[in-house]
Amino acid sequence: MLPFILDRLPNGCERYIEPFLGGGAVYLAIKDRFNECYISDLNPRLMNFYNACGQEVSVANAQPLVESTLRQVNLSLYNTICVYIEAYNKSQDKAKYYNVQRTVVNRNDYAWLEGCEVYFTPTNLIIKPDPERGFKGINVEDATSFYIVNHTCFNGLYRENKKGQFNVPFGKYKHLGELDKTEFEAYCKCFCSSNTTQVHIGCYGYDKSLEHVNDKTFVYLDPPYRPISNTASFTAYQKSGFNDDQQRELKEYCDEVNRRGGKFLLSNSYQEDGFFQELYKDYTIDVIEVMRTISAKGDSRGVTKEILVRNY
């Protein structure tokens, strides 16, 4: 899908917003085109990991570093991940090792991170916490467990049960490859502000990002996809799910972006019942054929239709 998105980027925008960040493929491909980036997701485990990436750069260069503002500042995310990868590869019972790490991922209460916005510079950390929750610090060890689980779970899926716990089973991987230090450092820099691009990392719902929208803003939206059939009902990336009413509320968000003069591009599944065609009839809808890469059955992988909706 990424090439089709890159072909449809608007001109004249200085600020980028992506409130359903997920794996961040679009953000990573285009961040350097903008002066400001506001990236966010409701998944606190994921945002803790991205915060740890940004902290990796900030801590490495900070002179001096005020340790009271950071948690586990003495831990390098890269070094910790390498230790965990080695432990996984040496483990005689990799399923047990996976389950231990999944327990770590699920054990902590990340409520303090929800509503929080973190802004890293190469030498500093600026925090805008939710005043009711405060800021407890970025947890490098939890970020490492999240990395290991994400790289060894079935098909690289992220899914939560109704209790908000990550519940994807072990993917039966025999070996994890080494983490390239140069590549990882470059990756971490994507989550830290530079001289040309300010990066703000948030853990909140898409509606809060409206406060950053102006007529120089481009918003990319990649929400949980609407099921393409009654049997393909996988929308539970998080415990709250994402039903048709929420899809309609998201359309109202798009309308507001449009009213403010911003540009938006939204991706979702193509619907034979015309749900999105009717919902977004006032905007441009492109139908794209793509290869589906995540499926429970290998023989069900193949070409499927998705849509891109835009107001420009």
Look up the pTM and report it: 0.88
Q: Which residue has better confidence, 257 or 75?
A: 257
Q: State the average pLDDT over residues 59-77.
A: 52
pLDDT of residue 200: 94
Name the segment(s) of the chain with CATH classification 1.10.1020.10.
Answer: 43-195
pLDDT of residue 59: 64
Residue pair 169/154 in contact (Cβ under 8 Å)? The answer is yes
Residue pair 209/40 in contact (Cβ under 8 Å)? The answer is yes
pLDDT of residue 131: 57
Domain 43-195 has CATH 3.30.300.30: no
Contacts of 281 (CB under 8 A, 6+ apart): none
Contacts of 239 (CB under 8 A, 6+ apart): 160, 161, 162, 163, 164
pLDDT tier at 234, thresholds 50, 70, 90 = very low
Q: What per-residue string of b and e applies to 79-97 under the rule 16 or more CB within 10 Å gives b?
A: ebbbebbeebeeeeebeeb
> Of the ranges 100-114, 169-183, 261-275, which one carries the lowest mean pLDDT score?
100-114
pLDDT at position 66 over 50: no
Name the segment(s) of the chain with CATH classification 3.40.50.150.
Answer: 1-41+204-228+241-312
List the one residue out of 168, 201, 250, 238 whose CA is nearest residue 17.
Answer: 201
Q: State the average pLDDT over residues 85-114.
A: 90
* Mean of pLDDT over the chain: 86
Q: Which CATH architecture has domain 1-41+204-228+241-312?
A: 3-Layer(aba) Sandwich (3.40)
Q: State the average pLDDT over residues 24-51.
A: 95
> Of the ranges 10-24, 135-149, 177-191, which one carries the lowest mean pLDDT score?
135-149
Bridge partners, residue 290, by sequence? 304
Please tell me which of 68-72, 145-149, 240-244 the model is most confident about, judged by mean pLDDT.
145-149
